[in-house]
Chain A
Amino acid sequence: MTVVTNAAEEVVLRVNELSLEYRLRGAGPKTLRAVDGVSLELRRGETLGLVGESGCGKSSLVRTIFDINVPSSGSVEVFGQRLAELRPKDRRQLRNRVQMIFQDPYSALDPRLSAHEIVAEPLRIARRYSKDRVVELLESVGLSAEVMDRRPAAFSGGQRQRLGIARALALDPDVLVLDEPVSALDVSVQAQVINLLKDLQQRLGLAYLFIAHDLSVVRHISDRVAVMHLGQIVETGTAEEIFANPVHPYTRSLLSAAPVPDPRARSSRRRVVLAGELPDAARRPSGCSFRTRCPIAQEQCSQQDPTLVSTGSPTHQHACHFPEDSQRSVAPAMT
């Protein structure tokens, strides 16, 4: 689909060994490491799906990327420039090239503002407001200029999400971080919004960091996928590699938990039901953070924290001590 050129290879967003610790009050552990040495790379025009269950640190990662939380270590680079090292004016300019779509289209829009004002706001902040631009933005997400004076309450969930997308596009970004952009929407509307996103990506050459827990959506839209567990990336690879040949037992169990629409395929698969909940991030297990729930955990797993290593393919990495065991005995891949 994509023509490989130098421009397409350009890394637009890079996250280096990013960690975020929250300081805790009261008794017990003093800090909670919500993001633990996460590294990501996003190239122009590609979509990186970030998958993980609730509480695994996806949203904390996003908040750190946007400087809402200050990272305890690591850095964020936009177009190869470390944001923390730039002067405020340059930093803002680079920041504006990375924009965000929120999960909940109801709380993401100020209920007091009209659609026009919502989309116009980033333009006004940047002192680039023009009414034509607002109309153009609204039309680019499939809303007509006639709805401009309405408040968010007059829009459906899908329309609101379109407004949120129009707002994010206002400053001509190169990267969109989408925090579960469709999980609050009806299934029928999800497809429309996903198609709009794909369409915009092709038209504007956007790179997406697509955060989700719905694997079928991720599979549909992603070029590459990263799987997150308790603040760490445990497996990453192309969508093909992750879905056809998952290595990490966590990835394998996630995939086995995804609903399968075909009843025949459903009956033939084995499911792995993980024991227990995601561990408390403040009381992280020793060694591999997944070992308390892992069906193939061994002695080594409690002593040594596995790091990301390549499998056969250079793009496919996993953090598991026993990849062969995992592939042999933990759940088959989603077909």
Chain B
Amino acid sequence: MKFISALKRWRPLQLSGLLMVLLVVGFSLLYPLSPGYDPYTQNLSSILQSPGSSGHWLGTDSLGRDVASRLALGGRTTLSIALAVILANMVIGIIIGMVAGYFGGRTDNVLMGLTDVQLALPVMLVLIAFSAVYGPSVTLMIVVLSVTYWVGYARVARSVALSLAGRDFVLAPKIQGAGPLWIMRRHIAPNVFTQVLIVATTDLGAIIILIASFDFLGLGIQAPTPSWGSMISDGQGYLRQQPALVMIPGVAMFLIIAGTNLISQRFTEEGAGAPARRKVAA
């Protein structure tokens, strides 16, 4: 009930964003349960079928595999990798940012220097370099993405921690014997989370694009496992015969990225309201 009443504050565009995300996520999760689901079986007698053809409502690819099934499975892998990557970066960023902001001084300087270094590293090049050495793999992509995208979280967490560190309600438990871990966990982290969530929803789109582009380049998810990036990459060879092969995963990506951005807009508005609502004494 609380959720529904919260939804009433969403503006129509933001609601449509939620709908777009739900559509893609719902399809990816639910379609594999349907009887026609089969992302791997090839049928070379019916390749490059158009959407709406018999038995394949999104058509078939160059090997006659069902596009709808591959889209759903690709969505599952892409989205779960994106979520895992975001989560990993969130944890790293929040810890680094809170420690930097709470302790300040030299700790702050060192940690924020580290984030600048990280910012200077081009993710794509790092991944290409590692792939050249170890061979491309999903694990490698996840690992590289997990440690190269936390700057935003660190900065937000730092600024929240910095602004709270001097407040009396943080001082009070400190005087009463609470250690830094206690204070960060109980008094700073909850305030950090709401702010970080905004960054996370904004980042989700960017991460999905990154994953898709890695897949497109063959650096991420490996064939035959489908992913949106590799579907686009496979489809580009048949752009003239069957443009749907590129358009379908493209539309899915558009929906999820535009959708998360619209949702993050909502979170930003709510986040901006939350800390300011506190009454400030003269």
Residues of B within 8 A of A126 (CB): 176-177
Taking the closest CB of chain A, its distance from the CB of B169, in whole angstroms, is 4
**Are A96 and B177 within 8 A (Cβ)?**
yes
B36 within 8 A of A: no
**Are A167 and B175 within 8 A (Cβ)?**
no
**Are B176 and A108 within 8 A (Cβ)?**
no
**Are A100 and B191 within 8 A (Cβ)?**
no
> A125: which of B169, B177, B191, B281 is its contact (CB, 8 Å)?
B177
**Are B280 and A106 within 8 A (Cβ)?**
yes
B182 within 8 A of A: yes
> A68: which of B173, B174, B182, B281 is its contact (CB, 8 Å)?
B174
Q: Known interface pairs A112-B190, A153-B279. Does A107 touch B176 (Cβ–Cβ under 8 Å)?
A: no
**Are B187 and A110 within 8 A (Cβ)?**
yes
**Are B177 and A111 within 8 A (Cβ)?**
no
A171 within 8 A of B: yes
Q: Which residue of A lies closest to B168 (CB)?
A: A108
A243 within 8 A of B: no
**Are A102 and B168 within 8 A (Cβ)?**
yes
Complex CA gap A25/B80 in Å reads 49
**Are A102 and B173 within 8 A (Cβ)?**
no
Complex CA gap A125/B177 in Å reads 7
B14-67 contacts to A, CB under 8 A, are: none
Complex CA gap A100/B169 in Å reads 12
Complex CA gap A113/B281 in Å reads 19
Q: Which residue of A lies closest to B274 (CB)?
A: A111
Complex CA gap A157/B191 in Å reads 23
Residues of B within 8 A of A171 (CB): 176
Residues of A within 8 A of B168 (CB): 102-104, 107-108
> B182: which of A108, A125, A164 is its contact (CB, 8 Å)?
A125
Q: Which residue of A lies closest to B278 (CB)?
A: A111
**Are A121 and B176 within 8 A (Cβ)?**
yes
> A167: which of B172, B174, B280, B282 is its contact (CB, 8 Å)?
B172
Residues of B within 8 A of A153 (CB): 278-279
**Are A68 and B171 within 8 A (Cβ)?**
yes
**Are B190 and A102 within 8 A (Cβ)?**
no
Interface residues on B, range: 20 to 34
Complex CA gap A112/B186 in Å reads 10
**Are B176 and A99 within 8 A (Cβ)?**
yes
**Are B169 and A107 within 8 A (Cβ)?**
yes
> A107: which of B167, B178, B187 is its contact (CB, 8 Å)?
B167
**Are A66 and B175 within 8 A (Cβ)?**
yes
Taking the closest CB of chain B, its distance from the CB of A205, in whole angstroms, is 20
> A108: which of B172, B174, B279 is its contact (CB, 8 Å)?
B172
> A104: which of B186, B187, B190, B281 is its contact (CB, 8 Å)?
B281
Complex CA gap A103/B167 in Å reads 12
Q: Which residue of A lies closest to B174 (CB)?
A: A68
Taking the closest CB of chain B, its distance from the CB of A99, in whole angstroms, is 7
Q: Which residue of A lies closest to B170 (CB)?
A: A110
* Max chain A Cβ within 10 angstroms of own Cβ: one of B169, B186, B278, B279: B169
Taking the closest CB of chain B, its distance from the CB of A181, in whole angstroms, is 12
Q: Known interface pairs A102-B168, A112-B191. Does A107 touch B174 (Cβ–Cβ under 8 Å)?
A: no
A122 within 8 A of B: yes
* Max chain B Cβ within 10 angstroms of own Cβ: one of A111, A113, A126: A111
Scan A81-112; emit 1 where CB is below 8 A from any B CB, else 0. 00000000000100110011011111111111
Q: Which residue of A lies closest to B164 (CB)?
A: A110
**Are A102 and B172 within 8 A (Cβ)?**
yes
Complex CA gap A241/B176 in Å reads 35
A184 within 8 A of B: yes
Residues of A within 8 A of B186 (CB): 110, 113, 121
Q: Known interface pairs A102-B168, A106-B280. Does A125 touch B173 (Cβ–Cβ under 8 Å)?
A: yes
**Are A106 and B177 within 8 A (Cβ)?**
no
**Are B173 and A122 within 8 A (Cβ)?**
yes
Residues of B within 8 A of A125 (CB): 173, 176-178, 182
Complex CA gap A170/B175 in Å reads 13
* Max chain A Cβ within 10 angstroms of own Cβ: one of B171, B174, B176: B176
B157-203 contacts to A, CB under 8 A, are: 167-169, 171-178, 182, 186-187, 190-191
18 contacts between A and B (CB under 8 A): A68-B171, A95-B175, A95-B177, A100-B175, A106-B281, A108-B169, A110-B186, A111-B169, A111-B278, A112-B191, A113-B186, A121-B173, A122-B176, A125-B178, A126-B176, A164-B172, A167-B176, A184-B282
Given contacts A104-B168, A106-B279, 4 further A-B contacts (CB under 8 A): A106-B280, A107-B169, A110-B169, A122-B176
Closest 10 pairs (CB-CB, A-B): A108-B168, A106-B281, A122-B176, A110-B169, A102-B168, A107-B168, A125-B178, A104-B281, A92-B177, A66-B175
